[in-house]
A and B are shown apart, each in its own frame.
Chain A
Amino acid sequence: MTKMLDSKIPEGPLAEKWTSHKNNINLVNPANKRLIDVIVVGTGLAGSSAAASLGEMGYNVKAFCFQDSPRRAHSIAAQGGINAAKNYQNDGDSVYRLFYDTVKGGDYRSREGNVHRLAEVSTNIIDQCVAQGVPFAREYGGLLDNRSFGGVQVSRTFYAKGQTGQQLLLGAYSALSRQISKGKVEMFTRHEMMDVVMVDGKCRGIIARNLVTGELERHAAHAVVLASGGYGNVFFLSTNAMGSNVSASWKAHKKGAFMANPCFTQIHPTCIPVSGEHQSKLTLMSESLRNDGRIWVPAKKEDAEAIRKGTKQAIEIAEEDRDYYLERRYPAFGNLVPRDVASRAAKERCDAGFGVNETGEAVFLDYASAIQRYGKTEGNIRGLKNPSSTEITELGKQVVKAKYGNLFDMYKQIAADDPYESPMKIYPAVHYTMGGLWVDYNLMTSVPGLYAAGEANFSDHGANRLGASALMQGLADGYFVLPYTIGDYLSQDIRTGGISTDSAEFNEAEKEVKERINHLINNNGTKPVDDFHRRLGRIMWNECGMSRNAEGLNKAIEDIRLLRAEFWADVRVPGSDDGFNPELDKAGRVADLLELGELMCKDALEREESCGGHFREEHQTPEGEALRDDEQFTFVSAWEYTGDPKEAKLHKEELRFENIELKQRSYK
C-alpha cells in the first residue's frame, strides 16, 4: 500500500469551498487561450457541454465521437429528469438537502466537497438550459413543473416528458454546434480514440481512428478530457447503447490513470425483462414511473405459478392477495426507495419464487390505482358531476398518457402488452456505473493533463446514484466545473507552444495501436466478437451483479481470464482495417471489457462490506439489508494498472465526513 491519494479538496467551510477555489486558481487570459489546444473525447452531456464551454472561452477544441453525429451520444436516452435545488415547489428543498440526499443515497462513499459543489451548481443548469430553449415541462401558470424521484422526499426533478436526456443533450449539442460554426471547435464524428499519448509525464494527445476510412490519426493537445461515458456494457445486456464502451477510459488506465471503485454498478429496478437468447440490449422504464406506479407480486406462491403458466392474469388477483413489497418493507419511502434497494427487493421476491413471467424474473408495476386517482382529480377539475367509473378511468388514462405516454408506448411496442389495461412487467437491469476514472477535485485523473467528466469519472455518486442525478452531474462537470478547473493546469502551458505529433511518443503509440488492429484483423479465429461479449456478460451478471460473494468472484476472475485468452486465440474479425468495419470497432471494445471485467471482480472481492449497489452476501443484516463497514472501508479504491488486471495495485483515498454523520441508511 502506498500513501493516501490527495483529492485536493479545498480547505474551508463546505459551502465556501467551490467559491473560494474558483477565486484562488490560476486563470488563462483570453489572448493566451488562443494558444492552447484541448481535446474532448465523447459528446454526451459532459463532453458536448465541456467542448462548447471551452470553445466559447477561447481554447482551440477538437471534439471526437464514434457516432455519426455528436447528437447521438447515449445521454440522449436518459428519460426521467434532472435534479436541481431550486425549491420551486416550496417543499423545503435546498442546496444542503440535495447534497445530503446525494451523499446518503450514495451510501456514504462519495466526497462531501464534490457533492456539495454539484448541488450548488445544479440551479445554474436549469437557468442555462431554459436560456438555450430547452422545452422543459411547465404548469398551467407557465412556470416549470417538477416531479419526485427515488430516494428523496422533495420534488426537485425537472423534466421534459420521458425524454429529458434528449432535450438536454440537444441543448448541449446546439451550444456545441454554435462553437463549431464559429470554428472554435473542430468536430470529428465517426472517430474512435485508440490511445492517449504521454509526453514527459503529461497527457499530450491521442491516437484516433477514422471509422469510415480506417486511417489512424494523431491529434496533439495541451490537455485531454475524457467524457466517454460508463462501462455498463461489460454485462453485455444493459440499458447502455450498443456502442457504449470503456475503451477510452481503459486506455487511459493502462497509461497510468487510476480506476476508482470499478465494482460500483447501478442495477436499475425498472427495466423491461429479458425475452430470450437473441436479446441484444435492455430497455429502461423511467424511474419516474415509480412516482405513480405501485410495485407488487402475488402474495401466494400458487398465484405466481398460475401467472407464470399463463392460466391466471394479474388483474384477477384480489387486492388482499397482492404483496406490495416495497410499501410493506419500506413504509417511509414506499415505491420511491433508492434504486439499489428496489432492485434487491425485486430479486429477493423472484428468488423466493414469486416472479411473474415465464422466466420467473419479473415483478408488476401497476398503474390501475394511479389511473383512478388522477381520473377523480381530473373529473373535479373539469367540474363533472358524479362521473361514472368508465369516465373516471378514461380521464385517468388521459392524465397518465400526458405524463408518461412515450414510456407506455415504448413498453407496448416491446412487450406487445397494453400497460393502460394490465400492469407492466419489470425487472432490474444494469444501467449506470458509479465507478470510473479516479479524479481529484479539479476533475484531473492521476495523469497530469488528463481529465475525466460525467459518467466516465467516479466522483459524485458514491456506491449508488440517485435518479435524475446523472444528467445533473454530466452538465455540471461540462458547463460549470471543468472549464474553470482546467485553466489552473493550462496556465502553465501559455508558453509551451503547439505540441508536435512528430515525436517518438506519438510514433510509439501509433505503432502499438496498429499492431493490435493487425492482430485482430488477421486472427482468423472461428467465433464472432458477440459470442465472447455475451459470455463475458453472463459471468459478470451472475457473479458481479446484484449480489456477490467471495467464491463466485474468485471463480469469475478465473473464468474471465480463460475467456480473454480464448478471445485473442479464436475471435474472428471479418473484413479489413482500411474501411468501414463495425465488427473491428466492436472487437477492440470487447477486448478492453474483457480486462475491465476482471478488475471489477477484484475490486468487488476486496471490498468486504455491502454498500449501495455493491452487495456482498457475507455482509448483510438479519433482515437482508446491506451492512456497511465504515471502520474499514470509508475510502475510495483506486487501482493502478501494472500490466495485468490481476496484479492491479490498490491506492486508497480516505473519505472524510465533516458535515454529515455516517448512519445506517434506512428508508423504513
Chain B
Amino acid sequence: MDLTLNVWRQNGPEDKGRMEAYPVFGVSPDMSFLEMIDMLNDQIIRDGGDPIAFDHDCREGICGMCSMFINGEAHGPGRGVTTCQLHMRSFKDGDEITIEPWRASAFPVVKDLAVDRSAFDRIIQSGGYVSVNTSGETLDANAIPVPKPVADEAFSAATCIGCGACVASCKNASAMLFVSAKVSQFALLPQGQPERASRVKRMVDQMDEEGFGNCTNTGACAVECPKGIDLSNIARMNRDFLKASADGE
C-alpha cells in the first residue's frame, strides 16, 4: 500500500520544529510500524537527506523506548500495544498518517520524535525502591507468604514499561499513572510496608518538581497505556498520599 506520512521534525529542544510530509510506497501489511519508518529512512539516506530520529530498542513491546504519537494517539490505534508492536495491517492504502513525539514540557524533545524522559528516572530515584542491601543474606524467599491475588495485583502494577504514553495522552501531561503504578506495587507487597508513607510523599513531590501536570480523572492515560495499568492505582496513590500527609510524613 501507499501512504503519506506527516512527521514532526525538530532539530533539538530549542528548534521551533515543523511538520513535514513524506510519501511512502509499497508498504507491506506484515511490516511493523517501525519497519515502515526504517524503509522510509533507508530511502531518505540514499537520497542524501536527514533520516527521522526516533527512539526504539527491543521491538517487542517491553523496553518502553519507542514513543510515537500516531494520528492523535500514543502508540497509535489499537489497545495494549506499543508503537513497535503496531503493524501496518492496521492501516489501509492511501491513508495519511500523522506522527508526533510525546508532547509534555517535562519531556523535552531531543530530536524529531525522540524525547528526554529522564524525569521518570528521577522519580524512581526519589523513592521507587525497597531499601534493602544486595547481600543476598535476607529472609528465605518463602518466609513471608503473599496471597496470590495480592501478588498478582502487585505484578500487574509492576508491568509498567515507563514509556510515557500516559503523560503524552493526558491533557495535563500528568504522570500519575506511571508514579502510582510503582507506588502500588510496593504498597501491596509486605516488603514495601516499612517505607510506604515516605515513599509516596517523596515520589509525588519529585513528580511535581519535574513539572508534570495534575490529574483531573479523565482516564485517557489508562485507555492508551500499552500495558493496561489500571486507574485504581491512582486512587491507591492518592489515598496513601493523603494518609501519609495526615500522619505528618
Contacts and interface: CB of A to CB of B under 8 A. Distances in A.
Contacts of A212: 110
CB-based closest 3 A-B pairs? A142-B145, A124-B136, A174-B129
Contact of A242 (B57, B137, B140, B152): B57
A130 B139 CA distance: 9
A280 B136 contact: no
A175 B162 CA distance: 17
A417 to B, nearest CB: 12
A56 B134 contact: yes
B218 interface: no
A166 interface: yes
A138 B190 CA distance: 14
Contacts of A580: 12, 53, 110-111, 114
A144 B142 contact: yes
Given A76-B63, A528-B42, A579-B12, A178 B141 contact: no
Interface string B152-180: 10110011011000000000000000000
Contact of B147 (A142, A416, A530): A142
B228 to A, nearest CB: 10
Interface stretch (B92-100, B116-124, B238-246): B116-124
Interface of A: 49, 52-53, 56, 67-72, 74, 76-77, 86, 88, 121, 124-133, 135-144, 160-161, 163, 165-167, 170, 173-175, 177-178, 180-181, 187, 189, 212, 239, 241-243, 275-276, 278-281, 283-284, 409-410, 413-414, 416, 479-480, 483, 526-528, 530-531, 572, 574-575, 579-583
Contacts of A53: 134
B138 A127 contact: yes
Interface in B102-148: 110-111, 114, 116-118, 120-121, 124-126, 128-142, 144-148
17 contacts: A53-B134, A67-B65, A71-B121, A76-B161, A132-B132, A133-B154, A133-B186, A160-B155, A180-B125, A242-B57, A275-B30, A276-B31, A278-B39, A279-B35, A574-B44, A574-B45, A574-B51
B97 to A, nearest CB: 17
Residue among B60, B154, B158 facing the most chain A CB atoms (10 A cut-off): B60
B141 A144 contact: yes
Contacts of A175: 129, 134
B236 interface: no
Contacts of B31: 276, 278
Given A132-B191, A174-B130, A281-B59, A575 B50 contact: yes
B118 A189 contact: yes
A53 B135 CA distance: 8
B58 A77 contact: yes
Interface string B50-79: 110101111111111100000000000000
A135 B155 contact: yes
Contact of B130 (A133, A167, A583): A133
Contacts of A409: 80
Contact of A137 (B50, B51, B62, B151): B151
B38 interface: yes
Given A163-B62, A187-B121, 10 more contacts: A68-B118, A74-B57, A124-B136, A127-B138, A133-B154, A135-B185, A138-B147, A178-B129, A281-B59, A281-B60
Interface of B: 11-12, 28, 30-32, 34-35, 38-39, 41-42, 44-46, 48-51, 53, 55-65, 80-81, 85, 87, 89, 110-111, 114, 116-118, 120-121, 124-126, 128-142, 144-148, 151-152, 154-155, 158-159, 161-162, 185-186, 189, 191-192
Given A144-B141, A580-B111, A136 B151 contact: yes
Contacts of B152: 138
B46 A413 contact: no
B73 to A, nearest CB: 16
A443 to B, nearest CB: 16
Contacts of A178: 125, 129, 131
Contacts of B117: 68-69
A24 to B, nearest CB: 19
A124 B59 CA distance: 32
Contacts of A528: 41-42, 45-46
Contacts of A579: 11-12, 111
B53 A133 contact: no
Contacts of A71: 64, 121, 124, 162
Contacts of B138: 127-128, 130-131
Contacts of B39: 278
Contact of B128 (A88, A141, A177): A177
B128 A138 contact: no
Contacts of A165: 62
B145 A278 contact: no
A69 B136 contact: no
Contacts of A72: 57-58, 63-65
Nearest to B127: A181
A4 B13 CA distance: 55
